[in-house]
């Protein structure tokens, strides 16, 4: 349960929670403030709970599974910006300013006053977007930097299919023996670069690398497999299907149906024909 209001309800109806809190009934504001002011302590308490579970042999450390869930941020799509979005806004404002200036040359009286107010408003808007553009230019950690004005740490992400949202990604790791949660990490990135980080954390928590890790196709990235191999951890990750744009006219000739021979550096097609390399490297043209 993540909702402070839902936790408030459980404090007056859930017998186990009533016993644990010794009949205290905090309201949702008290719960929310406590969580905000004691975030580090809550993390330490969670880690201590995992250690307690290990000491009672409740964690097998043989098979673990990782997955994520999207948590919607307190930031609308409207208040999330990237360089392209800022450029569109600036171009729109410039067009409007040009229209207003042209109209101002022919206006008089009240109409002229209204146009001057509108021009002043557009110029203020432009200054605001220029400041956001400046902040985006300072972010060198990403190829496509973003800025969320209401919830600065959140990012615009694909939730599922073509549905997008400004949100966080909560990465979680569960042990298979009793389905106990052993680790979590709140991030603002998608799953592609998360497996390696979570495996490092799990290795530190369990103090071993003899376990097998299970992940879905969203984590299927070469660099993450390299990290798992470096850590000495066996990772089983679902293979994503080939996208429609990459499908061959005849699905039998998709890349997955070609066999690679590392000794001869060659590929064999479904008909048994062999394609060998000429040994040259080619750079793709933009």
Please, are residues 85 and 93 in contact by the beta-carbon 8 Å criterion?
no
For residue 286, the model assigns a pLDDT of 56
What's the CA dihedral at 86, 90, 91, 97 to 10 degrees?
Answer: 160
Q: How far apart are CA 228 and CA 240, in angstroms?
A: 18
Domain spanning 38-74+152-237 has what CATH number?
3.30.420.10
pLDDT beyond 60 at 276: yes
Per DSSP, 33 falls in state H
CA-based R_g, the chain, Å: 27
pLDDT beyond 80 at 213: yes
120: helix, strand or coil: helix
pLDDT: is 105 or 179 the higher one? 179
pLDDT digits (tens, 9 = 90+) for 141-177: 777 899 999 888 889 888 887 888 999 999 999 999 9
For residue 176, the model assigns a pLDDT of 96
pLDDT digits (tens, 9 = 90+) for 1-33: 878 999 999 999 999 999 999 999 999 999 999
10 Å CB burial of residue 13 (0-12, 13-18, 19+) is exposed
pLDDT digits (tens, 9 = 90+) for 91-143: 999 999 999 989 888 877 778 888 889 999 999 999 999 999 999 998 887 77
Please, are residues 178 and 59 in contact by the beta-carbon 8 Å criterion?
yes
């Amino acid at each position: 349960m993540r909702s402070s209001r839902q936790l408030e309800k459980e404090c007056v109806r859930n017998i186990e929670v009533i016993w644990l809190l010794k009949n205290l009934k905090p309201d949702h504001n008290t719960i929310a403030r406590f969580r905000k002011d004691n975030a580090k302590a809550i993390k330490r308490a969670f880690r201590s709970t995992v250690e307690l579970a290990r000491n009672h042999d409740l964690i097998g450390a043989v098979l673990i599974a990782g997955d994520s869930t999207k948590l919607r941020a307190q930031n609308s799509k409207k208040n999330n910006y990237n360089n392209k979005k800022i450029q569109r806004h600036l171009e729109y404002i410039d067009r409007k300013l040009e229209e207003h200036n042209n109209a101002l040359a022919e206006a008089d009286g009240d109409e002229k006053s209204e146009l001057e107010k509108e021009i002043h408003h557009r110029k203020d808007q432009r200054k605001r977007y220029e400041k956001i553009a400046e902040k985006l230019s300072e972010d060198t950690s990403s190829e496509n930097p973003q800025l969320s004005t209401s919830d600065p740490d959140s990012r615009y992400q694909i939730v599922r299919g073509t549905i997008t949202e400004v949100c966080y990604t909560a990465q979680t790791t569960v042990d298979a023996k009793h389905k106990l949660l052993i680790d979590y990490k709140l991030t603002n990135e998608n799953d592609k670069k998360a497996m390696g980080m979570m495996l490092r954390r799990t290795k530190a928590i369990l103090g071993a690398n003899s376990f097998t890790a299970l992940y879905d196709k969203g984590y299927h990235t070469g660099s993450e497999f390299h990290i798992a191999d470096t850590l000495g951890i066996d990772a089983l990750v679902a293979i994503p299907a080939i996208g429609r744009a990459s499908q061959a006219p005849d699905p039998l000739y998709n890349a997955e149906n070609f066999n690679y021979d590392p000794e001869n550096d060659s590929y064999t097609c479904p008909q048994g024909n062999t394609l060998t390399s000429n040994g040259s490297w080619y750079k793709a043209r933009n």
